[in-house]
Amino acid sequence: MEVSMVKTRSKTTREVEKQDCRSFQSVQFGTHTLYREFDFIQKTSHNRASFICTFWKCYKYIGKSGDLLNVQEYHSLLCLLCPDFPLDVVQRTAHIIFMEDEMNSLMSFADFLFAFQIQFYYCEFLIECSSVYKRLLNSTMSPREAVVVPSGSSSPRQQKKSVVVEAHSDGIDSKSFLDALKHTCRSFKFSHPSDACLDEILAGSMRVSFYGFLMALAKSQQVNNEISILPARANITDDSAFDVDQAKR
């Protein structure tokens, strides 16, 4: 009887160990976010990175086929991986590409993927960028000039859609924006691009618009390398080389 109980406990222990091992491997390889709720996948930088990578690997065939999809169609694809994925995140991703509210505008997979990476991975940083941009823009405009800029929210899920109407067509002073962002990043607790990435994007121009800045983030290979989730834009339809590179890290 005692021998039988010991064997049963031993078997149960092995099963628990195997389950723990599988759970650890799913976190290690980034599959733990699949079919999970939005609150879970956006909770940590690792979870966000894992979900972005999963989205890319699941749907890279769209890039191979050259299909163009709209906001609703990309949202449907995301909901297959995360049933309660919010539509407004997809809409804000489209705004980076089009700078306008166009639900039916068609986007290539590459354009959407890299804009989505920036919007989802750096969500809190973009909200802060919006606040900084608005402050600098308001400080340089005359009392008669009206401006509407992206509205921030303490919660990425509660952030509302917004439309940009810039009072100055040429944006704001790039150096002032760069200095303000660097100052903000020193005490910022969420993920954000390094000073080197911000320098690459802002130091070479005199003025910058808000969505010009977002698009530059999405197109920057230096930012992409820093996040270290996706391969270069030219290689998004072939992940074999990227997997080998990741395995060496």
Between the alpha carbon of residue 215 and those of residues 42, 133, 235, 242, the distances in Å are 22, 15, 19, 24
| Tens of pLDDT, residues 121-179 | 999 999 999 999 999 999 876 444 444 444 444 455 544 444 344 444 579 999 999 99
Highest-confidence range of 1-5, 77-81, 136-140, by mean pLDDT? 77-81
Coil, strand or helix at 185: helix
* Model pLDDT, residue 170: 77
CA pair distance 244, 246, nearest whole angstrom: 5
Structure tokens at 233: 């834009």
* Cβ pair 97, 215 in contact under 8 A: yes
The chain-wide mean pLDDT, for the chain, equals: 81
| Tens of pLDDT, residues 91-120 | 999 999 987 666 678 999 999 999 999 999
Distance between alpha carbon 78 and the CA centroid of its chain, in Å? Answer: 13
Structure tokens at 246: 């990741």
Q: Span 190-211, mean pLDDT?
A: 95
* Model pLDDT, residue 166: 46
Domain definitions of the chain by residue range: 34-120, 123-227
pTM: 0.77
* Model pLDDT, residue 247: 45
Banded model confidence at residue 237, pLDDT cuts 50, 70, 90:
confident
